[in-house]
Amino acid sequence: MRHTRIAIALAATSLTLGGCAALGLGDRTATTEGAARDGESWLLVQQGQATPSPSVTMGAPSPTPEVSLSVPTPDPRCTKLWPRTDPALIPVRVTPGAGSLKVDWPTQFNSNYRVAAVPQKLVKGPQPQPVWQEVAPGSGCAMSTTVTGLTPGAAYIVWLDAPNTGHRLDGTRNLYSGRSGVVYPE
């Protein structure tokens, strides 16, 4: 058994070292009609079919195309940095006007919005319900609305609610809202 293994190993070694010549296939030259003319080298692909060796062909140079880039003018509402103190609060910017407050905020989740200017005057008894102003979802980077009919010089805090901001995995609504500090209409 050991001699058989040695014989197989020697046969494999002779095939490895001798390659095709060990099988009697090596060192053949093409002698068929049309073989090796004018110093060309030939490659034997199929017995009896002489094929010229591959040669490198150079293509014609072509100019590199110029890159043109057209960038639209950025929306100025998108370039504003909105400071965030709490990830659940939408940053709100309020600009006082004559008996009004202009409210700006960044768009959140394609939600619609509700805005209310809540008076800060102390009232005896139950507090009045805030009057919400509905704002449709916007397509830009920021939203804006103006709350009118306010008392000039009176103190207000602006509340912002985005009621359709989606739900968490447990089914509860994402609570995205915002509020301003105390502001005074002119």
Query: 93-183 belongs to which CATH class?
Result: mainly beta
Tell me what pLDDT residue 3 has: 53
Nearest C-alpha neighbor of 185 from the set 95, 62, 88: 95
Enumerate residues 6+ apart whose C-beta is below 8 A from 50. Answer: 30, 32, 34, 35, 36, 42, 43, 44
The one-character DSSP state at 21 is G
Give the pLDDT confidence of 132-171 residue by residue, as tens digits.
Answer: 999 998 878 889 999 999 999 999 999 999 888 777 788 8
Section 58-73 average pLDDT: 68
Q: What is the dihedral of CA 48, 49, 53, 56, to 10 degrees?
A: 180
Section 123-139 average pLDDT: 90
Average pLDDT of every residue of the chain? 77
Tell me what pLDDT residue 32 has: 47
Q: What percent of the chain shows pLDDT beyond 70?
A: 63
Nearest C-alpha neighbor of 48 from the set 70, 33, 59, 60: 33
Q: Which amino acid is at 67?
A: V
- SS3 for 147? strand
Q: What percent of the chain shows pLDDT beyond 90?
A: 32
Q: Residue 15: pLDDT band by 50, 70, 90 thresholds?
A: low
Length of the chain equals: 186
Q: Distance from CA of residue 183 to its chain's centroid?
A: 39
Enumerate residues 6+ apart whose C-beta is below 8 A from 115. Answer: 103, 132, 133, 135, 145, 147, 158, 159, 160, 161
With contact defined as beta carbons under 8 Å apart, do 154 and 185 qualify? yes
Tell me what pLDDT residue 38 has: 58
Q: Residue 115: pLDDT band by 50, 70, 90 thresholds?
A: very high
Q: Which two tokens stand for residue 102?
A: 């202009």
Section 118-142 average pLDDT: 90
> In angstroms, rounded to a whole number, what is the distance separating the alpha carbons of residues 96 and 90?
19
Give the pLDDT confidence of 164-173 residue by residue, as tens digits.
Answer: 877 778 887 7
Tell me what pLDDT residue 42 has: 62
Nearest C-alpha neighbor of 185 from the set 143, 159, 147: 147
